[in-house]
């Protein structure tokens, strides 16, 4: 089966920031959590995929097609949600739906759109400028899912939302990928959401992709141990991914396979792994 996303040695220079070169392959039928600190390059990557920015080098393929060859019809297979809803705010929901029906033509599924509007209880005659942040995100997701898209690109869609709405979004994404032809790439700072939903984690740091790993294998392969400074000297340096020092000793993020099985280790979260790796790089 074709990959949903293929980035081959993609590079983009923006002022003093350089993204890449990045190579990334995302199989169909999964959710990928795209993580990294602010300014790491997450939004830039997604904008390159959508053609909002043009890569300086490399090749980008979505759903098996090079994005430079995309026709308007092909673009309907891509859905996207940003951290805000970029349509005229004076529109009512009714106006916005009518606009999207004309935009997507025969690809637009009115039944799907109406089902999500009802599910989210969105008001038809209220101007979008008066929608809450959560309602705007729900509307953006409604539009992204109402034209038969096979790939969803979501850039911080749940930032600033309450836990109930975030949980609803995750449920919808999990329903969406029940079709093995559908794929989601979601960037988020709320890593607990990705713990629940993501199949893979891709970690970008300072414009470089450090890894893309299956989430469960990533977490199982690492451990967090608390040691005195003297005890830490006995740990194989190649086992240490990152460390946190405190007045009582040190906490280490380690590769489980390279430390004795007898050592008492805690399972790290995705957030732990990201923080330890970033702090270790700063050291």
Cα separation, 235 vs 68, in Å, equals 50
What are 150-181's pLDDT values in tens digits? 999 999 887 777 888 888 889 999 999 999 99
CATH 3.40.50.300 location in the chain: 3-217
CATH fold for the domain made of 3-217? Rossmann fold (3.40.50)
Q: Which residue has the higher pLDDT, 154 or 134?
A: 154
Cα separation, 139 vs 96, in Å, equals 10
What are 41-91's pLDDT values in tens digits? 999 999 999 999 999 999 999 999 999 999 888 889 999 998 778 888 889
In angstroms, the first-to-last Cα distance of the chain is 42
Cα separation, 49 vs 13, in Å, equals 15
The pTM for the full model equals: 0.90
């Amino acid at each position: 089966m074709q990959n949903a996303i293929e980035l081959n040695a993609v590079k983009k220079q923006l002022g003093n920031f350089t993204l890449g070169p990045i190579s990334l392959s995302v199989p169909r039928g999964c959710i990928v959590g795209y993580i990294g600190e602010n300014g790491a390059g997450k939004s830039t990557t997604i904008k390159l995929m959508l053609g909002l920015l043009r890569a300086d080098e490399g090749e980008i393929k979505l759903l098996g097609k090079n994005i430079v060859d995309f026709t308007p019809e092909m673009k309907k297979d891509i859905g996207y949600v940003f951290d805000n809803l970029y349509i005229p705010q004076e529109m009512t929901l009714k106006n916005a739906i009518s606009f999207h029906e004309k935009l997507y033509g025969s690809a637009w599924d009115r039944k799907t759109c109406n089902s999500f509007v009802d599910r989210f209880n969105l008001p038809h005659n209220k101007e979008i400028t008066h929608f809450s942040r959560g309602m705007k995100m729900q509307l953006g997701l409604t539009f992204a899912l109402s034209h038969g898209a096979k790939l969803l690109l979501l850039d911080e869609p749940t930032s600033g939302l309450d836990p109930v709405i975030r949980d609803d979004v995750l449920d919808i994404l999990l329903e969406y990928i029940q079709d093995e032809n559908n794929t989601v790439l979601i960037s988020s700072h709320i890593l607990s959401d990705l713990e629940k939903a993501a199949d893979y984690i891709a970690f970008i740091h300072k414009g470089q992709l450090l890894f893309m790993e299956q989430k469960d294998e990533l977490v199982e392969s690492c451990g967090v141990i608390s040691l005195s400074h003297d005890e830490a000297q006995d740990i194989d340096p190649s086992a240490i991914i990152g460390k946190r020092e405190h007045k009582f000793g040190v906490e280490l993020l380690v590769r489980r396979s390279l430390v004795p099985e007898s050592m008492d280790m805690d399972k790290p979260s995705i957030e732990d792994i990201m923080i330890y790796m970033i702090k270790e790089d700063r050291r």
